[in-house]
Chain A
Amino acid sequence: MIRFLIRRTLLGIFVLWLITMAVFGLFYVTPNNVARTLAGRQATPATIHLIQERLGLDQPLWKQYFDFVGNALHGNLGYDYYHQVPVTTIIAQALPITVSLSLGAAILWMIIGVGNGVISAVRPRSIADRGLTVFSLVFYSMPTFVLGLLFLYFLYFKLTLAGYDWFPAGGYVPLTDDPAQWARSLILPWFTLALVLAATYTRLTRGSMLDVLSEDYIRTARSKGIRERRVVMRHGLRSALTPVVTQFGIDLGQLIGGVVVTETVFSLPGLGKTSIDAINQQDLPVIVGIVLFASAAVVLANILVDVVYAVLDPRVRLH
Chain B
Amino acid sequence: MNAENPKAETLREDVEHAERVPTTGESAGARTVAAVPAKKIEGRSPWALAWDRLRRDKVAMISLLIIVLIALMAIFAPVFTAWTGHPPNEQYHSTGLTLNGLPKPPSSTFYLGTDDLGRDVLVRIAYGARISLLVGVIATLITVAIGVVVGLAAGFLGGLVDTALARLIDVVLSVPFLLVAIALVSITGPSLTVTILVIGFFSWASVARIVRGQVLSLREREFVEAARSLGAGSSRIMFVDILPNVLAQVIVYTTLLIPVVIVVQATLSFLGLGLPPPTADWGGMISEGQAYYRVAWWFVLFPSVALVITTLAFNLFGDGVRDAFDPRTDQLLNK
Q: Which residues of A line the B interface, CB within 8 A?
A: 11-12, 14-15, 18-19, 22-23, 26-27, 30, 32, 124-125, 137-138, 140-146, 149-150, 152-153, 157, 207, 210-211, 214, 250, 253-254, 256-257, 260-261, 264-265, 275-276, 279-280, 282, 287, 290-291, 294-295, 298-299, 302
Contact = CB atoms under 8 A, between A and B. Distances in A.
11 contacts: A23-B183, A124-B333, A143-B266, A145-B283, A210-B329, A210-B333, A253-B177, A260-B179, A276-B271, A280-B186, A298-B175
A253 B174 contact: yes
A153 B267 contact: no
A12 B167 CA distance: 11
Given A14-B171, A15-B171, A141 B333 contact: no
Given A15-B174, A253-B174, A260-B182, 18 more contacts: A26-B184, A27-B183, A140-B315, A141-B314, A143-B307, A145-B267, A146-B308, A149-B293, A210-B329, A253-B173, A253-B177, A256-B176, A257-B177, A260-B179, A261-B270, A261-B271, A275-B182, A298-B176
Contact of B179 (A207, A256, A264, A282): A256
B3 to A, nearest CB: 33
Given A125-B333, A295-B176, A149 B290 contact: yes
B91 interface: no
Interface in B3-47: 24-25
Interface string B95-115: 000000000000000000000
B332 A210 contact: yes
Contacts, number: 134
B272 interface: yes
Q: Which of A143, A153, A256, A299 has the most CB of B within 10 A?
A: A143
B311 A141 contact: yes
Contact of A141 (B175, B178, B312): B312
Nearest to A142: B308
B193 interface: no
B267 A302 contact: no
Contacts of B270: 143, 145, 261, 264
B82 interface: no
Contacts of A138: 308, 312
Given A11-B170, A137-B312, A153 B307 contact: no
Nearest to A129: B333
Name the residue in B259, B267, B283, B315 with the highest tally of chain A Cβ atoms < 10 Å from its Cβ: B267
A288 to B, nearest CB: 8
B187 A26 contact: yes
Nearest to A18: B171
A296 to B, nearest CB: 10
A200 B120 CA distance: 36
B-side interface mostly: helix
Contacts of B186: 279-280, 282, 287
Interface of B: 24-25, 167, 170-171, 173-180, 182-184, 186-188, 259, 263, 266-267, 270-272, 283, 286-287, 290, 293-294, 297, 300, 304, 307-308, 311-312, 314-316, 319, 329, 332-333
B179 A290 contact: yes
A153 B179 contact: no
Nearest to A207: B329
Contact of A291 (B171, B183, B311, B312): B183
B179 A291 contact: yes
Nearest to A153: B293
Nearest to A210: B332
B297 to A, nearest CB: 7
Given A30-B187, A153-B293, A214-B332, A146 B174 contact: no
Nearest to A290: B179
A257 B315 CA distance: 20
Given A143-B263, A149-B286, A298-B174, A260 B271 contact: yes
B178 A256 contact: yes
A15 B266 CA distance: 28
A287 B186 CA distance: 11
Given A141-B312, A149-B304, A260 B178 contact: yes
Nearest to A28: B187
A153 B283 CA distance: 17
Contacts of B188: 30
B315 A141 contact: yes
B120 to A, nearest CB: 21
A149 to B, nearest CB: 6
Given A260-B182, A261-B267, A253 B175 contact: yes
Contacts of B290: 149, 265
Nearest to A8: B170
A228 B155 CA distance: 43
Nearest to B310: A141
Nearest to B314: A141
A290 B180 CA distance: 10
Nearest to A213: B332
Contacts of A11: 167, 170-171
B193 to A, nearest CB: 15
